[in-house]
């Protein structure tokens, strides 16, 4: 009889015994202590916790902007240190930053198209403008706003450009730091719907840092950071 064990798929992202310490001249701050965590595709996570509990730190490690002082982070089973943080960020992960980090000398449309060009995301060159406009419309920005320099958009509109740009990268994992903080209730509601759709119909892994209980309640799993440890629960 053939008793071959079924192949076990590794989680999209895995933290194994991860600790993180900030060390500067005067003090040493231990932010994360021996964290073990698994993030799966098809799931929308929110990360909660009091100010200073380490949410942004967790996001920077998970998104490959920084390396943990101890432990291993794996994407699809491969150590990020071996895969290369630059390659991981370019091909597999996209982040919506709290300060948007848009290219301020470009229009909204150019920001989104540039992201496709840099990451080599689909569609092919000739269809990129139309796709970028579709993504901008999806987050509630019309063609007039798409053609405006991003500095001539409001904070909430810039936030939406940042979300459209992350969607344009078509990556496996989407990270966002307080993505609905500057948005009115209706727009925030639409953005949360997009995160749910990405996870549930496109099988992406979506990880969002927030203080918003409304956002957390609409995610699939919540992670709460406190004193360097993480508690995982259903939303």
CB 73 within 8 A of CB 13: yes
* C-alpha dist (Å) from residue 230 to 31, 75, 186, 197, 222: 11, 19, 31, 26, 10
- Rule CB under 6 A: say whether 29 interacts with ligand ATP: yes
Binders of ligand ATP among residues 56 to 95 (CB under 6 A) are: 56-57
- Rule CB under 6 A: say whether 49 interacts with ligand ATP: yes
- Rule CB under 6 A: say whether 43 interacts with ligand ATP: no
- Rule CB under 6 A: say whether 165 interacts with ligand ATP: no
- Closer by beta carbon to ligand ATP, 4 or else 24: 24
* C-alpha dist (Å) from residue 129 to 9, 122, 143, 151, 215: 36, 11, 11, 20, 31
- Closer by beta carbon to ligand ATP, 16 or else 21: 21
The count of residues interacting with ligand ATP (CB under 6 A) is 12
- Rule CB under 6 A: say whether 22 interacts with ligand ATP: yes
Q: Which residues contact 78 (CB under 8 A, 6 or more apart)?
A: none
- Rule CB under 6 A: say whether 25 interacts with ligand ATP: no
Distance CA 100, CA 147 (A): 18
**Looking at 4, 24, 125, 201, which residue binds ligand ATP (CB under 6 A)?**
24
Contacts with ligand ATP by CB under 6 A lie at 22, 24, 29, 31, 49, 51-57
């Amino acid at each position: 009889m053939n008793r071959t064990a079924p192949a076990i798929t590794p989680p999209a992202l895995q933290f194994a015994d991860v600790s993180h310490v900030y060390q500067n001249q005067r003090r040493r701050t231990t932010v994360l202590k021996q964290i073990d965590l698994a993030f799966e595709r098809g799931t929308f996570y929110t990360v909660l916790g009091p100010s200073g509990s380490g949410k942004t730190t967790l996001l920077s490690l998970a998104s490959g902007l920084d390396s943990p002082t101890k432990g291993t982070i794996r994407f699809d089973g491969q150590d990020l240190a071996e895969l290369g943080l630059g390659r991981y960020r370019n091909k597999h992960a996209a982040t919506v930053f709290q300060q948007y980090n848009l290219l301020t000398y470009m229009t909204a449309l150019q920001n989104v198209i540039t992201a496709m060009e840099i990451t080599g995301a689909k569609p092919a060159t000739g269809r990129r403008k139309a796709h970028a406009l579709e993504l901008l419309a999806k987050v509630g920005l019309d063609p007039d706003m798409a053609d405006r320099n991003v500095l001539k958009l409001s904070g909430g509109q810039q936030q939406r450009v940042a979300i459209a740009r992350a969607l344009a990268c078509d990556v496996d994992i989407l990270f966002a730091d307080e993505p609905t903080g500057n948005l009115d209730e209706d727009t925030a509601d639409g953005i949360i719907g997009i995160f749910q759709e990405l996870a549930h119909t496109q099988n992406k892994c979506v990880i969002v840092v927030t203080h918003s209980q409304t956002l957390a309640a609409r995610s699939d799993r919540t992670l709460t950071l406190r004193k360097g440890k993480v508690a995982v629960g259903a939303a």
